[in-house]
């Protein structure tokens, strides 16, 4: 009887310990406004030469309505979207690819890949493929050109923690096309091999600036997920963040590599200039983290590449510890 009681006590403590460990692993912390319930509504009127339409753009942050052609000030929200106000060669244009959508008692974000057309006097002059994206950072408005899109974005936010995972709810609807298209506004659409996929990137960096204002970074943490199939809502999906040099891992893919060349992200240096963040190597698990880049996109192929109709719903974004 004594043995049995001791065994019962041991089992209770073992199960209690397992329960506590699982509870610790499942602790999550929401990113500010990451529940995606509150949205800013913006009314931007395009130039008369292209129709003088008033477009509705949506941003993440304290509920508000802004009327007028002015750069978006996200106030205390760390989020930005691919919805932008552009003014190119004196012509005002709005682009919309991210929308709030009712879900339960709140909202989620719907990210769509589509074609944005710009016409003057009823004649279509420019067509550009636009992917929907939701990210930490901000767009530099008004956008003044379609070349080098990353240079128009401040990527990432200051961040010093080391979360174990990214947790969020999502739903995916792919276009069904076997290949993608590239459409950049300067030439006719061309085919790009491979199916379009929704993608999530979370990059933890240790950044620094040299005396010339150049920004450098070591990659400390990595999470890259490509969604290659249709799903209904998946709630509380948990994706682990990998630390250190991950190139020797069996599950490493080239697209998880350092952000260099055309893939380099940009950020403001101490002089207020938006410059490339040059990822020069892999950090270690013990390196400090100074910034986090987090991106949700309806297409994975980079600027102006994707399949119209790809749709990616996201909700309840948080970090697991």
What is the pLDDT of the chain when averaged over all its residues? Answer: 90
Q: Which of 118-132, 164-178, 272-286 has the lowest mean pLDDT?
A: 118-132
Note the pLDDT of residue 117.
80
Note the pLDDT of residue 23.
42
Q: Which of 113-117, 177-181, 183-187, 286-290 has the lowest mean pLDDT?
A: 183-187
Query: What is the average per-residue pLDDT within 312-320?
Result: 98
Note the pLDDT of residue 122.
55
Please tell me the pTM assigned to this model.
Answer: 0.89
User: Could you give the number of structural domains in the chain?
Assistant: 1
Whole-Å CA distances, 317 to 60, 218, 224, 271: 13, 25, 15, 32
Q: Kindly state whether residue 18 falls inside one of the protein's structural domains.
A: no
Q: Kindly state whether residue 286 falls inside one of the protein's structural domains.
A: yes
Q: Kindly state whether residue 8 falls inside one of the protein's structural domains.
A: no
Domain carrying residue 299: 33-320
Query: What span, in angstroms and rounded, lies between the C-alpha atoms of 254 and 258?
Result: 9
Note the pLDDT of residue 6.
46
Q: Kindly state whether residue 16 falls inside one of the protein's structural domains.
A: no
For residue 187, what are the contacts with CB-CB under 8 A and spacing of at least 6? none
Q: Kindly state whether residue 53 falls inside one of the protein's structural domains.
A: yes
Query: What is the average per-residue pLDDT within 202-229?
Result: 98
Backbone angles phi, psi at 50, to 5 degrees: -115, 20
Give the model confidence (pLDDT) of 53-87 as tens digits.
999 999 999 999 999 999 988 778 999 999 999 99
Closest C-alpha among 203, 195, 199, 166 to residue 178: 195
pLDDT at 220 over 50: yes
Give the model confidence (pLDDT) of 28-59 as tens digits.
999 999 999 999 999 999 999 888 999 999 99
Query: What is the average per-residue pLDDT within 77-101?
Result: 94
pLDDT at 14 over 50: no
**Region of residue 226 (phi > 0: left; psi between -120 and 50: alpha; otherwise: beta):** beta
Q: How many CB atoms lie within 10 A of CB 311?
A: 18
Query: What is the average per-residue pLDDT within 110-125?
Result: 77
Query: What span, in angstroms and rounded, lies between the C-alpha atoms of 120 and 122?
Result: 5
Residue pair 298/132 in contact (Cβ under 8 Å)? The answer is: yes
Q: How many CB atoms lie within 10 A of CB 32?
A: 14
CATH code: domain of residue 236: 2.60.120
Token look-up 């719903």 returns 313
For residue 23, what are the contacts with CB-CB under 8 A and spacing of at least 6? none
Q: How many CB atoms lie within 10 A of CB 137?
A: 23
Q: Kindly state whether residue 7 falls inside one of the protein's structural domains.
A: no
For the chain, report the end-to-end CA distance as a whole number of angstroms.
Answer: 41
Q: Kindly state whether residue 28 falls inside one of the protein's structural domains.
A: no
Q: Kindly state whether residue 19 falls inside one of the protein's structural domains.
A: no
- pLDDT category, 96, cuts 50, 70, 90? very high
**Region of residue 198 (phi > 0: left; psi between -120 and 50: alpha; otherwise: beta):** beta
Give the model confidence (pLDDT) of 290-310 as tens digits.
999 999 999 999 989 999 999
Token look-up 């260099």 returns 260
């Amino acid at each position: 009887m004594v043995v049995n009681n001791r065994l019962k006590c041991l089992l209770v403590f073992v199960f209690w310990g397992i329960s506590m460990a699982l509870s610790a692993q499942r602790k999550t912390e929401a990113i500010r406004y990451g529940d995606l319930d509150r949205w800013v509504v913006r009314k931007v009127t395009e130039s008369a030469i292209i129709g003088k339409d008033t477009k509705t753009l949506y941003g993440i942050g304290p509920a508000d309505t802004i009327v007028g052609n002015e750069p978006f000030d996200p106030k205390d929200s760390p989020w930005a979207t691919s919805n932008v106000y552009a003014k190119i060669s004196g012509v005002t244009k709005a682009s919309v690819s991210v929308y709030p959508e009712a879900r339960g008692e709140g909202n989620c974000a719907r990210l769509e890949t589509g074609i944005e057309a710009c016409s003057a006097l009823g004649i279509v002059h420019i067509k550009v493929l636009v992917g929907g994206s939701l990210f930490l950072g901000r767009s530099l408005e008004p956008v003044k050109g379609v070349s080098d899109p990353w240079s128009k974005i401040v990527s990432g936010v200051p961040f010093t923690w080391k979360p174990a995972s990214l947790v969020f709810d999502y739903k995916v609807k792919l276009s069904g096309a076997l290949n993608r298209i590239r459409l950049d506004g300067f030439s006719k659409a061309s085919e790009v091999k491979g199916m379009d996929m929704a993608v999530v990137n979370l990059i933890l960096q240790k950044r620094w600036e040299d005396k010339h204002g150049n920004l450098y970074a070591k990659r400390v943490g990595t999470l890259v997920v490509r969604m290659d199939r249709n799903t209904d809502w998946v709630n509380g999906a948990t994706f682990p963040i990998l630390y250190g040099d991950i190139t020797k891992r069996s599950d490493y893919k080239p697209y998880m590599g350092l952000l260099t060349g055309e893939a380099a992200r940009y950020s403001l240096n101490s002089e207020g200039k938006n410059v490339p963040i040059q990822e020069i190597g892999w950090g270690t698990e013990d390196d400090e983290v100074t910034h986090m880049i987090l991106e949700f996109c309806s297409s994975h192929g980079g600027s102006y590449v994707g399949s119209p109709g790809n749709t990616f719903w996201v909700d309840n974004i948080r970090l697991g510890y």
